[in-house]
């Protein structure tokens, strides 16, 4: 059952399969019919292709998939040498043998590659077909696969054709192109091709080189971009005309801008290329670098301008000396126009005495030499001779042959004059320089002025010159000296100094320069007697020049005088030069004077320094002496004091001690008085109390003072006075001091039992008092220094006699204050000395007498006294004295204490030191006078300051009295015991 069902089913399938098969068969039939139809069509196509293939000019070979030939068309038969029936079925390489034309090597036929790859193989070049007979034919071949309907490659078809002729033509064309390319690239001219929009397409090496761009760079530019901006317009005009067909080409000289920015001139020729249709296609331009030519043209134009506008004469001439060109400068220099000059011999310009120069110049030119800066003389049209500098150069033609000469003539007349002036100036400057050096290097006035005179004479061009100048000698006398140049001194000696004449006056008074071309014609000349002009025998002077020499301070120191025997010899310039020299002379004289003054000052200072040194030395010696002299009294004072204070001292001893102390104190007081006096004299503060003085009184006073020493040495004193001793104005005390000093010295410096003579005389003018002795005398040196401060005759005797050595100095000071003189005389050592005092006799008016203290006789008044002194000893000792006299004394030691004590104690008298701490004596006095309670107190200043000014100051402060220390105790006791004077 199952099986039957299966069979039935299967058989039913058979029907269906049959139906399917039938359909398939129908389809197959239809396909077959279509195939047949298609085959017929293909056959027709095949036949058509075969006909076509047989008709076309190309050779066609087809193969099957194995590469065996299936078809050759007649062209292929002809080229290969094989007939179709022979070739069919054969491998293609058998029929189609090809080699490479260049290498001659066999080449694979393209069908192999087509069958291998199924791709079309394009045209192959350089292939040659070797025919059956061995002929070689250049071919181009290509092959393509033949595919069936499914695209499967079933064979291949190759097409090839004879290109022999074309190959030949191509070779010829390549050769031609090569030549053309070589011409293009190697041309000496720049060639470029541009499109119609101006963009460069091709350019040869020269073009690139001219513009400095590479070809690639040029291709990015248009020719307008390369054109100089100023040439763009002209270029565009030409291009426009070219494109419009108005012109076939154009030539233009224009500039291009190179890559480096520089400009290049070019001669540009542009042609429009047209295509086969006649349409404009491209521009072709040819450029030639004409920069050099342009530069040459510019240079020529420049040179022409140079020649035309040169100030120099530029002339050309033939070798025969005929002028061939003549520039405006030549016309200006020589005066001839070009028409007048050209064609004429150049000798027309040469003075007769210079004609011999020309043959030599021409000869040198013919040798090709160039003549530079030849200075000579030439003649202008008007006959004027001028200095010229010639530069002559040969002119050569293009062959280098000398055909002429060019001359450049420059007027150097002014130059020559300048040279002369310069030489003169140099000479002058040299002279001035020498003079200046001399002046600055020498201080000897005579030498300097001689140099000045000599220089000035030369500069002025004078025959002779002189310098008269003023000097003041050491004696203060004015002298006129002179230096001479160009003439001996003997020529002037006898004439003396120039006098103050109208001619000379301006010079000596410094009014100014006098320059006359002929002095004898000057109206000022000959005005003064006795000569009325130059003295007989004087060197003849016609040209005259004088210049005052004036110092910086304006002083006319002298005058420079110049003369010449010829007239009009002195020029303004000479005057200027001499004025300059005069100024130098003034400087020199000033310098010399200054130098001399400096020298004198130096000498004076040296002397002063020596004197100071000597004074110092004397001062030192004086101080030593002073110390000695002060110590001397101190010793006995000390001893006497000790004796007086000794417990065992008796009254006699005490009395003796007091006498010693008193005496020594008096001695010290005298020493101090002398010191104070000499100090006042030195400072000029010593004041004389001049009054009409009786000579006899003065002498007596002096004798009295010096009598102890005279008697002690047993000298004989002789006094000689006028019968009627005169009265004269003098300070009697001081004068007596002087005489006392002289007598003391005489006594001191005379051996015992000598003779001292005082003699006084008087006449109308002077009173003369001399003191002579028979003592030790004085040496010359001692005489010159005897009145010097601190001077003592240096001997053991001097020392033993004591003293400060200031007595004579003090005496001189006093005498000189009187207006008198004092001198010392001595015949020498041991020959005694004489001192002479002369006092002028003057009448003094009744002048107020100096205030004197009227000391009332002693009374027994006892007072309350305040002593204020910071020197305790001084204060206490004075207090003790007053107390011993019965006064009540209070002692304080400073100003403040003084004031308070005065207020509280209110003493009757106050003795106040000035120099106190806290408040000085002056202030105490002032305050006392302001205090109503004590303003009337009697105040006495007790101070070591004893000048008149000190006394005035004390009085101004309110002191009643001023005592100079050491106060005379007795005087003070007497004052306090009596009535106190009123203020």
Cβ neighbours of residue 975 under 8 Å, at least 6 residues apart? Answer: 853, 855, 856, 961
Cβ neighbours of residue 498 under 8 Å, at least 6 residues apart? Answer: 468, 504, 508, 559, 561
Q: Does residue number 148 form part of the binding site for another protein (CB under 8 A)?
A: no
Residue 17 CB, shortest distance to another protein, in Å, is 4
Residue 156 CB, shortest distance to another protein, in Å, is 20
Among 21, 83, 417, 935, binds another protein (CB under 8 A): 21
| Footprint of another protein on 250-269 (CB under 8 A) | none
Residue 15 vs 244, nearer CB to another protein: 15
Q: Does residue number 13 form part of the binding site for another protein (CB under 8 A)?
A: yes
Q: Does residue number 15 form part of the binding site for another protein (CB under 8 A)?
A: yes
From 20-28, 345-353, 436-444, 958-966, span contacting another protein (CB under 8 A): 20-28
Residue 145 vs 726, nearer CB to another protein: 145
From 15-23, 57-65, 611-619, 775-783, span contacting another protein (CB under 8 A): 15-23
Residue 17 vs 236, nearer CB to another protein: 17
Residue 74's CB: how many other CB atoms inside 10 A?
15
Residue 23 CB, shortest distance to another protein, in Å, is 8
Among 85, 150, 339, 764, binds another protein (CB under 8 A): 150
Q: Does residue number 29 form part of the binding site for another protein (CB under 8 A)?
A: no
Q: Does residue number 634 form part of the binding site for another protein (CB under 8 A)?
A: no
Angle 645-650-655 from CA coordinates, rounded to 5°:
75
d(CA 916, CA 898): 10
In this structure, are residues 518 and 567 in contact, taking their beta carbons and an 8 Å threshold? yes
In this structure, are residues 557 and 582 in contact, taking their beta carbons and an 8 Å threshold? no
Q: Does residue number 11 form part of the binding site for another protein (CB under 8 A)?
A: yes
Residue 5 vs 845, nearer CB to another protein: 5
In this structure, are residues 636 and 625 in contact, taking their beta carbons and an 8 Å threshold? no
Q: Do you find a cis peptide bond into 966, omega within 30 degrees of 0?
A: yes
| Footprint of another protein on 360-379 (CB under 8 A) | none
Checking phi first, is residue 69 left (phi over 0); if not, alpha (psi -120 to 50) or beta? beta
d(CA 492, CA 490): 5
Query: Three-state DSSP class for 497?
Result: coil
Residue 28 CB, shortest distance to another protein, in Å, is 8
Residue 25 vs 424, nearer CB to another protein: 25
Among 19, 479, 827, 880, binds another protein (CB under 8 A): 19
d(CA 510, CA 259): 81
Q: Does residue number 10 form part of the binding site for another protein (CB under 8 A)?
A: yes
Residue 150 vs 846, nearer CB to another protein: 150
Residue 29 CB, shortest distance to another protein, in Å, is 13
CA 804 to chain centroid, in Å, comes to 65
Q: Does residue number 9 form part of the binding site for another protein (CB under 8 A)?
A: yes
d(CA 120, CA 157): 10
Q: CA of 224: how far to CAs of 221, 255, 261, 272, 287, in Å?
A: 8, 11, 15, 16, 14
d(CA 327, CA 331): 7
In this structure, are residues 881 and 969 in contact, taking their beta carbons and an 8 Å threshold? yes
Residue 21 vs 370, nearer CB to another protein: 21
Residue 11 vs 855, nearer CB to another protein: 11
From 17-25, 336-344, 428-436, 807-815, span contacting another protein (CB under 8 A): 17-25
Q: Does residue number 17 form part of the binding site for another protein (CB under 8 A)?
A: yes
Residue 7 vs 933, nearer CB to another protein: 7
d(CA 313, CA 329): 4
- Binding residue count for another protein, defined by CB under 8 A: 22
Residue 7 vs 983, nearer CB to another protein: 7
User: Beta strand pairing status for 313-318 and 402-411?
Assistant: antiparallel
Radius of gyration of the chain (CA): 74
Q: Does residue number 16 form part of the binding site for another protein (CB under 8 A)?
A: yes
Q: Does residue number 18 form part of the binding site for another protein (CB under 8 A)?
A: yes
Cβ neighbours of residue 345 under 8 Å, at least 6 residues apart? Answer: 320, 321, 322, 323
Residue 20 CB, shortest distance to another protein, in Å, is 5
Q: Does residue number 8 form part of the binding site for another protein (CB under 8 A)?
A: yes
Q: Does residue number 28 form part of the binding site for another protein (CB under 8 A)?
A: yes
Residue 2 CB, shortest distance to another protein, in Å, is 6
d(CA 963, CA 315): 119
Query: Three-state DSSP class for 868?
Result: strand
Among 2, 244, 352, 724, binds another protein (CB under 8 A): 2
Among 24, 51, 830, 884, binds another protein (CB under 8 A): 24
In this structure, are residues 937 and 906 in contact, taking their beta carbons and an 8 Å threshold? yes
From 7-15, 438-446, 519-527, 855-863, span contacting another protein (CB under 8 A): 7-15
d(CA 869, CA 942): 9
From 13-21, 316-324, 728-736, 872-880, span contacting another protein (CB under 8 A): 13-21
From 5-13, 246-254, 690-698, 820-828, span contacting another protein (CB under 8 A): 5-13
Instruction: Name the site residues for another protein (rule: CB under 8 A).
Output: 2-3, 5-21, 24, 28, 150
């Amino acid at each position: 059952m199952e099986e039957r069902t299966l069979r039935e089913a299967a058989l039913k399938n058979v029907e269906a399969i049959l139906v399917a098969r039938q359909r398939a068969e129908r389809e197959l039939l239809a396909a077959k019919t279509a195939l047949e139809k298609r085959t017929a069509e293909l056959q027709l196509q095949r036949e058509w292709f075969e006909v076509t293939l047989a008709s076309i000019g190309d050779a066609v070979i087809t193969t099957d998939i194995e590469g065996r030939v299936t078809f050759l068309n007649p062209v292929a038969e002809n080229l290969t040498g094989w007939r179709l029936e022979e070739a069919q079925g054969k491998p293609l390489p058998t029929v189609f043998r090809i080699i490479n034309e260049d290498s001659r090597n066999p080449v694979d036929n393209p069908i192999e590659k087509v069958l291998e790859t199924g791709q079309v193989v394009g045209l192959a070049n350089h292939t040659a077909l070797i025919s059956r007979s061995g002929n070689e034919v250049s071919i181009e071949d290509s092959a393509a696969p033949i595919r069936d309907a499914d695209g499967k490659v079933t064979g291949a078809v190759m097409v090839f054709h004879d290109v022999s002729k074309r190959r030949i033509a191509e070779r010829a064309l390549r050769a031609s192109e090569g030549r053309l390319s070589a011409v293009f690239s190697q041309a000496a001219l720049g060639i470029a091709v541009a499109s119609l929009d101006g963009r460069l397409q091709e350019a040869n090496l020269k073009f690139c080189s001219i513009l400095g761009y590479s070809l690639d760079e040029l291709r990015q530019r248009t020719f307008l971009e390369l054109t100089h901006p100023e040439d763009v317009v002209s270029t565009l005009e030409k291009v426009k005309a070219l494109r419009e067909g108005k012109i076939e080409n154009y030539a233009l000289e224009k500039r291009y801008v190179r890559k480096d920015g520089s400009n290049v001139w070019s001669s540009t020729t542009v042609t429009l290329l047209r295509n086969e249709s006649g349409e404009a296609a491209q521009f072709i331009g040819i450029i030639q670098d004409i920069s050099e030519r342009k530069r040459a043209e510019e240079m020529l134009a420049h040179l022409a301008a140079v020649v035309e506008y040169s100030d120099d004469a530029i002339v050309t001439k033939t070798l025969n000396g005929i002028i061939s060109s003549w520039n405006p400068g030549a016309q200006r220099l020589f005066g001839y126009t070009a028409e007048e000059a050209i064609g004429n011999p150049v000798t027309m310009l040469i003075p007769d005495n210079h004609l011999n120069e020309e043959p030599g110049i021409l000869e040198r030119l013919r040798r090709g030499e160039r003549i530079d800066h030849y200075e000579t003389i030439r003649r202008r049209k008007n006959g004027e001779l001028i200095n010229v500098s010639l530069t002559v150069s040969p002119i050569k033609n293009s062959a280098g042959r000398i055909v002429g000469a060019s001359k450049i003539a420059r007027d150097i007349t002014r130059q020559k004059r300048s040279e002369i002036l310069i030489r003169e100036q140099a000479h002058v400057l040299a002279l001035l320089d020498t003079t200046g050096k001399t002046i600055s290097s020498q201080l000897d006035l005579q030498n300097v002025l001689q140099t000045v005179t000599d220089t000035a004479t030369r500069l002025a061009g004078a025959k002779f010159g002189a310098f008269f100048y003023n000097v003041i000698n050491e004696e203060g006398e004015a002298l006129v000296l002179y230096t001479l140049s160009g003439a001996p001194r003997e020529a002037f000696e006898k004439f003396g100094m120039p006098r103050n004449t109208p001619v000379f006056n301006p010079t000596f008074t410094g009014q100014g320069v006098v320059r006359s071309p002929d002095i004898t014609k000057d109206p000022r000349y000959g005005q003064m007697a006795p000569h009325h002009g130059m003295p007989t025998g004087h060197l003849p002077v016609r040209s005259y020049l004088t210049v005052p020499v004036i110092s910086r301070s304006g002083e006319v120191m002298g005058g420079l005088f110049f003369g010449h025997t010829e007239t009009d010899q002195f020029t303004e310039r000479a005057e200027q030069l001499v004025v300059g020299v005069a100024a130098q002379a003034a400087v020199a004289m000033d310098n010399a004077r200054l130098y001399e003054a400096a020298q004198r000052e130096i000498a004076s200072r040296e002397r002063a320094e020596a004197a100071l040194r000597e004074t110092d030395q004397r001062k030192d010696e004086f101080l030593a002496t002073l110390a000695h002299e002060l110590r001397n009294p101190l010793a006995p004072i000390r001893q006497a004091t000790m004796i007086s204070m000794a417990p065992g001292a008796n009254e006699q001893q005490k009395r003796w001690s007091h006498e010693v102390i008193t005496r020594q104190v008096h001695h010290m007081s005298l020493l101090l008085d002398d010191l104070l006096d000499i100090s006042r004299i030195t400072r000029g503060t010593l004041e004389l109390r001049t009054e009409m003085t009786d000579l006899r009184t003065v002498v007596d006073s002096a004798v009295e003072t010096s009598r102890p020493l005279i008697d002690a040495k047993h000298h004989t004193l002789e006094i000689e006075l006028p019968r009627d001793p005169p009265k004269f104005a003098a300070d009697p005390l001081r004068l007596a001091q002087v005489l006392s000093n002289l007598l003391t010295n005489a006594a001191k410096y005379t051996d015992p039992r000598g003779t001292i003579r005082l003699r006084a005389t008087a006449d109308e003018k002077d009173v003369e008092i001399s003191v002579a002795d028979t003592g030790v005398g004085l040496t010359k040196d001692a005489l010159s220094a005897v009145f010097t401060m601190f001077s003592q005759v240096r001997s053991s005797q001097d020392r033993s006699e004591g003293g400060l050595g200031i007595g004579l100095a003090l005496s001189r000071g006093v005498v000189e204050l009187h207006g008198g003189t004092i001198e010392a005389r001595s015949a020498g050592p041991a020959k005694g000395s004489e001192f002479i005092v002369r006092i002028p006799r003057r009448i003094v008016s009744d002048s107020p007498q100096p205030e004197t203290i009227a000391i009332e006789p002693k009374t027994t008044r006892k007072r309350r006294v305040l002593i204020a002194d910071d020197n305790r000893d001084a204060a206490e000792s004075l207090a003790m004295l007053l107390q011993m006299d019965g006064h009540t004394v209070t002692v304080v030691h400073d100003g403040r204490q003084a004031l308070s004590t005065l207020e509280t104690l209110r003493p009757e008298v106050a003795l106040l030191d000035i120099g106190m701490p806290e408040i000085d004596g002056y202030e105490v006095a002032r305050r006392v006078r302001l205090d109503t309670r004590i303003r009337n107190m009697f105040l006495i200043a007790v101070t070591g300051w004893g000048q008149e000014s000190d006394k005035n100051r004390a009085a101004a402060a309110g002191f009643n009295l001023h005592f100079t220390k050491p106060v005379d105790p007795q005087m003070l006791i007497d004052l306090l015991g009596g009535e106190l004077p009123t203020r």
